[in-house]
Amino acid sequence: AQSVTQLGSHVSVSEGALVLLRCNYSSSVPPYLFWYVQYPNQGLQLLLKYTSAATLVKGINGFEAEFKKSETSFHLTKPSAHMSDAAEYFCAVSDMGDMRFGAGTRLTVKP
Amino acid sequence: SAVISQKPSRDICQRGTSLTIQCQVDSQVTMMFWYRQQPGQSLTLIATANQGSEATYESGFVIDKFPISRPNLTFSTLTVSNMSPEDSSIYLCSAYSGLAGANEQFFGPGTRLTVL
């Protein structure tokens, strides 16, 4: 079965600093990988997805993620954090719609 | 793309009662799923809703507690039976379209359930 592990349940950065949220996957087949963001009391919003077309995936709000097969990783980055980036971030892996989520990482942005 | 609607959007229920949540997709999809998000937690897959047959449940979830129906390609229901406060969660419907080579996953807005 496919799964993802998010390293770090809480990440705190200063405004303007690099954001790095870590995700490692386990899959017996080439994975489809996703990052979602969830703001308080709101639904899931897709940030980006990897479907094997390109290893560097650019998403919304300045986020991007790089698929590294050798490291089984799909870390999410943003060069400069904004206060509005404070939210819960979920990494997910999907096999024909059967999507499994990581535990989530809460991002705090300090002024 | 597909748009998913869920009814109700939220409800407050008494323990021991049951609630049925409806999920409607505006286009045909290949697969439909139900997820639960407990307060402060991630999303957990409850089951895959199979058209015309019994749902496929994940470990820890059983049909007697979470009966699911999917009578056609665009509609599914999830019932939360004999509710207790521990069932207070957001329940989300998800749909997957693998038609014409697509690989698209969609989520409904969720049903926020509070059990007193």
Mean pLDDT of all residues in A47-73: 92
Asked whether B106 and B95 are in contact (CB, 8 A), the reply is yes
Mean pLDDT of all residues in B46-64: 95
Strand segments, DSSP code E, in A15-82 are 19-26, 32-38, 44-50, 56-58, 64-68, 73-78
Q: For residue B82, name the pLDDT band (cuts at 50, 70, 90).
A: very high
Contacts of A97 in chain B (CB under 8 A): 30-31, 33, 94-96, 98, 105
Among A35, A42, A57, A47, which Cα is nearest to A105's?
A35
Asked whether B37 and B94 are in contact (CB, 8 A), the reply is no
> What is the reported pLDDT for B16?
98
Does A101 contact B44 at a Cβ distance shorter than 8 Å? yes
Q: Is A79 exposed, middle or buried (0-12, 13-18, 19+ CB in 10 A)?
A: exposed
Provide the number of CB pairs (under 8 Å) joining chain A to chain B.
Answer: 45
3-state secondary structure B1-20: CCCEEEECCEEEECCCCCEE
- B33 closest CB neighbour out of A32, A34, A97: A97
State how far residue B84 is from chain A, nearest Cα, in angstroms.
Answer: 22
Chain B residue at shortest CA distance from A94: B105
Pair of tokens at residue A76? 């999410």
Does B107 contact A103 at a Cβ distance shorter than 8 Å? no
Tens digits of per-residue pLDDT, B2-12? 899 999 999 99
Q: Is B108 exposed, middle or buried (0-12, 13-18, 19+ CB in 10 A)?
A: buried
Mean pLDDT of all residues in B79-96: 96
Per the document, the length of chain B is 116
Q: For residue A79, name the pLDDT band (cuts at 50, 70, 90).
A: very high
Percent of chain A with pLDDT over 90: 80
pLDDT at B28 over 80: yes
Chain A residue at shortest CA distance from B98: A96
Q: How far apart are the first and last CA of chain A?
A: 41
Chain B residue at shortest CA distance from A4: B42
- A99 closest CB neighbour out of B105, B109, B110: B105
Per the document, the length of chain A is 111
